[in-house]
Amino acid sequence: MKLSTQLMVAMVTLVVGTAAAGVIGYRSVESAVVPVSLERLRMQASGRLGILDIYLQGARGDVLALGAVPVHQRLMRAIAGNGSGPEEQTAKAKWRDDIEGIYAGMLNAKRAIREISLIGTADGGREIVRVDRNGPDGSVRAAPSAELKINSERGYFREAVAKQPGEAFVSPIELALKRGGVIADPHVPVVHAATAIQDGAGRPIGVVVIMFDMRSIFAALCAAVDDHSQVYIVNAAGDFVLHPDGSRAFGFELGIRHRWQDEFPALVTQVGDGDHGAAVTDKADGEKVAVAIEFDRLADTLRVGIIESASYASIMAPAAALRRSDLTAAAVAIAAAILLAIFMARSLTRPLRQITAAVVGFGRGEPIHVPDQAGGEVGILARAFIEMAAEVTDKADALRSKSKIFDKTIESMADGFLIINNQGIAVFANAVCREMFGIEAGLTHQEWNERNLRFRSDGVTPIPFDLTPIGRAMRGENFDNIEVTHRRVGETKLRRLAASGRVLADELGKLEGAVIVYRDITVTRETEYQLHHAQKMEAVGQLTGGIAHDFNNTLTVITGAIEIIAEGVADRPELLVVAKMVDEAVDRGADLTHQLLSFARRQPLEPREIDVNEMVHTAMRLLRPTIGERVLMDTRLADSPWTAMADPAQLSSALLNLAVNARDAMPLGGRLTLETANIMFDEGYAAQHAEVDAGPYVMIAVSDNGHGIPAAILSRVFDPFFTTKAIGKGTGLGLSMVFGFIKQSGGHIKIYSEEGYGTTVKLYLPRVDGTKAAVPPDSVTNILGGQETVLVVEDDELVRRFVITNLVSLGYPTYTACSAAEALDMVAQGLAFDVLFTDVVLGPGLNGRQLAEQLSHVRPGVKILYTSGYTENAIVHQGRLDAGINLLTKPYRRADLAKALREVLDTVMAEVRETVVPAKADPQPASAVTAEGGRHLD
């Protein structure tokens, strides 16, 4: 046989064998690709399910946070009380306005929220407040009363009422309804999150409901789907709530059911009683697809499934391309073999070497050099090879592009994403996860443990490995939002993480690994703590301020009475001693109310420019006798401190309180250090501390090396009446008074302490802005009366009688009114008077400041003296008295009253008398005090 014939036969045989091997290889590739593709689809469905779960968990968290706002309980208790008086109606209207404002703020902040309602459990479950997007052009608006409807028959209402306190109900995905129960058009898929509001006995008195528009999350779940893939969402009954064909979604609400069991029957046997499955099946239109389904219980209550499908052709595209390329190459090779056999002498050897080299180089990624311009079969073979190579390259590029999209998606996630195998070895970790834990592929869980420390939510108690997210996953456990506190070895930064994990298993249920998602909730938890603390301190401040106000009224009466009694028993020493004891007790009560008002931030301050270094030097001299010889005192003062703005008396008292606490923490002696510095808070610090504005501050720090404060009680040290001292050794108001003074001064306070090492308290005062505070007038020792006429407005009967008694004893003709309305009526009748003496906080209607403003219009230049236990910001703003305001703080003595009246009356008295209208009332003042109807006395 000739060489050319042998070569032809050999090459034809080789090429045919290669083609057969390609066909067999295609079948092998098919058997390997399909299971991997199905598993990939199931993992993608599981990932989308996790995203949906995070969204619904967020919905539940939103409604729980909203339901915890205290104004809901105030309004519901007021409605349940059926109060119909003007004060009750005003309070209800204000609280409704407050709730509507909070709801509107949430709708403006979160576009996915469609509607928020407050529903009462009484009156058939009628809505009390509803804020929605039904305003002009979809704007946010509060629904008028006529549109409020009854919701007691809605499932979410009944479920929320049945929940325990602190729990929320998330409804199944359904279509939004218009008024009257008609499904809105166009269709809007929604989820209702609801939580109950309980009264003091734990009984449900209302329900807060948030309606979330699911269209945005549906769009996000489908965003990464290519032209060959589709995503479906089904409910627990199997009905579609998301379908590529919109007409097949929510058929169960429109009277025509479309279920996944009917559209993908091959999946039914795969899923069985389980939560997932995958199969290759034919759709109703005959298209062959690979499909996977994954079920889970989202938001702890809602069972939802996600189906992801891909066309079978797209899955097998690379293998089909390989088969076509193999067959094409075989055909070209057969033709080339015949030609080479015929024309071997002149055309076989060199082109064969070139093509062989090109094939080898193509496998290594080198440029292709073949005689594609040659004529005949050699040129055809070369061009066919180039075409085949281009097709294979395009398919490989497409696969790489899809892989890059998936990798970039995972890599750009804000949460940490970790995949481990069944041995706990990291298979994949995205950038966030690598930064959190220092994890890279191939790291074992033992190595991970050496680099990272895990604690429970307190940040101190270690967590056993079996209870960590990786330990749970290696046991085959699915879990959601397991909270752990984490710190890398060698670092001090603690992170609070919420971990959710899903097990990866094969078709037989054998554990292959797990996917764990870590969310950093450090800022969220810190914000929740600050909000809770601020609400608690504000509530306690309101309570203590109110108590102090009422107590000051009582002390005012007792103060005046004991002075009169003391004068009456001056000739009886044994009774005079008792009177002095009562007087001293009143002083102690006044000091206590002063401390309460300081904490509640209701005291009027007299801020001045302060040299903090000079203040510290003065404090050191005053503290030396108090601190004792066993405590060494030291200072570390700034070279050029900024000037601070604060009330010097209050600041001196605050430093004394802190120094005494430091001394008590060092019973065996130690070191007390006072330090000053200039501090600039940047935007980053202000963002972490909501109560702080960025800018310049002057710091005064008080430090000791005593026994320190245990971590368990550090967060409570500013609470009023909280103390660790023995009974009778302290009131528990020292630190709370310092806290209130600093906050009222526009400053900031931080405490640092470690048990066994000591404590540092840092006071940050605002840097002076150039405005000068009024210098307090010199005290007057003589008790001077007068003949000017005084109009007294006081709603407390006991205090009113006390004031009248003292004014009569001082010689002032006096007229009285128990309300602003009564005083205005007296002035309208022509009452002549020289000075208005009014309480700031009166009963219903106008307060003292508003009364004075109205009187100033009809009696320009009238003299005004205010009195109050606290002022509710009526005449005090940001801790300072308004300019030109004269205030006599309760409780006060007769000497204080006399001094304050003379200071007001002696300033341009003649000018005031010229503006007083002649009296039209009874010109003969009575000689005795009348009761509630009494107008004046002499």
Estimate to the nearest angstrom the gap between the alpha carbon of 62 and the chain centroid.
10
What's the pLDDT score for residue 855? 92
Question: What would the pLDDT profile of 92-101 be if each residue is shown by its tens digit?
Answer: 888 889 998 9
Q: Does the pLDDT of residue 4 top 50, yes or no? A: no
What's the pLDDT score for residue 674? 92
What's the pLDDT score for residue 817? 94
Question: What would the pLDDT profile of 886-934 be if each residue is shown by its tens digit?
Answer: 888 766 778 888 999 999 988 754 344 433 333 333 433 332 333 333 3
Q: Taking residues 311-340, report their average pLDDT.
A: 66
What's the pLDDT score for residue 2? 46
Question: What would the pLDDT profile of 145-182 be if each residue is shown by its tens digit?
Answer: 888 888 777 888 888 888 888 889 998 998 888 766 67
Task: Kindly indicate the confidence band of residue 538, based on its pLDDT and cuts at 50, 70 and 90.
Answer: low
- For 526, half-sphere exposure in the C-beta direction (CA atoms, 13 angstrom radius) is 13
Task: Kindly indicate the confidence band of residue 772, based on its pLDDT and cuts at 50, 70 and 90.
Answer: very low
What's the pLDDT score for residue 778? 38
Lowest mean pLDDT segment, chosen from 578-582, 670-674, 831-835: 578-582
Helices 573-600 and 734-744, interaxial angle, to 10°? 50
Q: Which residue has the higher pLDDT, 656 or 553?
A: 656
Mean of per-residue pLDDT scores for the chain: 77
Q: Taking residues 459-473, report their average pLDDT.
A: 84
What's the pLDDT score for residue 321? 64
Q: Which of 404, 443, 435, 399 is nearest to 417 (CA)?
A: 435
By three-state DSSP, how is residue 565 classified? Answer: helix
Task: Kindly indicate the confidence band of residue 189, based on its pLDDT and cuts at 50, 70 and 90.
Answer: very high
Q: Taking residues 214-227, report their average pLDDT.
A: 80
Length of the chain: 938
CA–CA distance, 138 with 607 (Å, rounded to integer): 49
Q: Which residue has the higher pLDDT, 84 or 187?
A: 187
Most confident segment among 317-326, 327-336, 752-761, 895-904: 895-904
Q: Does the pLDDT of residue 140 top 60, yes or no? A: yes
Residue 720 phi/psi, 5-degree rounding, is -65, 140
Q: Are strands 880-881 and 876-877 parallel, antiparallel or unpaired?
A: antiparallel
Q: Does the pLDDT of residue 833 top 90, yes or no? A: yes
Q: Which residue has the higher pLDDT, 515 or 772?
A: 515
Question: What would the pLDDT profile of 224-271 be if each residue is shown by its tens digit?
Answer: 677 678 898 998 888 888 988 888 888 777 778 888 888 888 888 888
What's the pLDDT score for residue 116? 94
Q: Does the pLDDT of residue 310 top 60, yes or no? A: yes
Q: Taking residues 201-223, report their average pLDDT.
A: 87
Estimate to the nearest angstrom the gap between the alpha carbon of 367 and the chain centroid.
58
Q: Does the pLDDT of residue 881 top 80, yes or no? A: no
Q: Does the pLDDT of residue 723 top 80, yes or no? A: no
CA–CA distance, 593 with 656 (Å, rounded to integer): 19
DSSP H or E run through 479? strand 479-488
Task: Kindly indicate the confidence band of residue 368, based on its pLDDT and cuts at 50, 70 and 90.
Answer: low
What's the pLDDT score for residue 911? 43
Task: Kindly indicate the confidence band of residue 446, based on its pLDDT and cuts at 50, 70 and 90.
Answer: confident
Residue 598's contacts (CB-CB under 8 Å, 6 or more residues apart) are 650, 736, 737, 740, 741, 744
Q: Which residue has the higher pLDDT, 1 or 610?
A: 610
Residue 556 phi/psi, 5-degree rounding, is -60, -45
Most confident segment among 9-18, 346-355, 634-643: 634-643
3-state secondary structure 643-686: EEEECHHHHHHHHHHHHHHHHHCCCCCEEEEEEEEEEEECHHHH
Q: Which residue has the higher pLDDT, 863 or 45?
A: 863
Q: Does the pLDDT of residue 676 top 90, yes or no? A: yes
Residue keyed to tokens 């330090």 = 675
Task: Kindly indicate the confidence band of residue 122, based on its pLDDT and cuts at 50, 70 and 90.
Answer: confident
Estimate to the nearest angstrom the gap between the alpha carbon of 480 and the chain centroid.
21
By three-state DSSP, how is residue 838 classified? Answer: strand
What's the pLDDT score for residue 95? 87
Contact 197, 76 (CB under 8 A): yes
Q: Does the pLDDT of residue 730 top 60, yes or no? A: no
Question: What would the pLDDT profile of 642-655 be if each residue is shown by its tens digit?
Answer: 999 888 877 877 88
Lowest mean pLDDT segment, chosen from 106-120, 125-139, 224-238, 727-741: 727-741
% of residues, the chain, pLDDT over 90: 14
What's the pLDDT score for residue 150? 83
CA–CA distance, 658 with 18 (Å, rounded to integer): 91
Q: What is the DSSP string of 288-315?
A: EEEEEEEEEEETTTEEEEEEEEEEHHHH
Task: Kindly indicate the confidence band of residue 319, based on its pLDDT and cuts at 50, 70 and 90.
Answer: low
Alpha-helical (H) ranges within 665-784 are 683-688, 734-744
Q: Which of 390, 347, 346, 350 is nearest to 368 (CA)?
A: 390
Q: Taking residues 195-218, report their average pLDDT.
A: 88
What's the pLDDT score for residue 743? 82
Contact 589, 551 (CB under 8 A): yes
What's the pLDDT score for residue 643? 92
Q: Does the pLDDT of residue 3 top 60, yes or no? A: no
Lowest mean pLDDT segment, chosen from 156-165, 602-611, 826-835: 602-611
CA–CA distance, 928 with 517 (Å, rounded to integer): 82
Lowest mean pLDDT segment, chosen from 402-406, 546-550, 671-675: 546-550
Q: Taking residues 481-492, report their average pLDDT.
A: 82
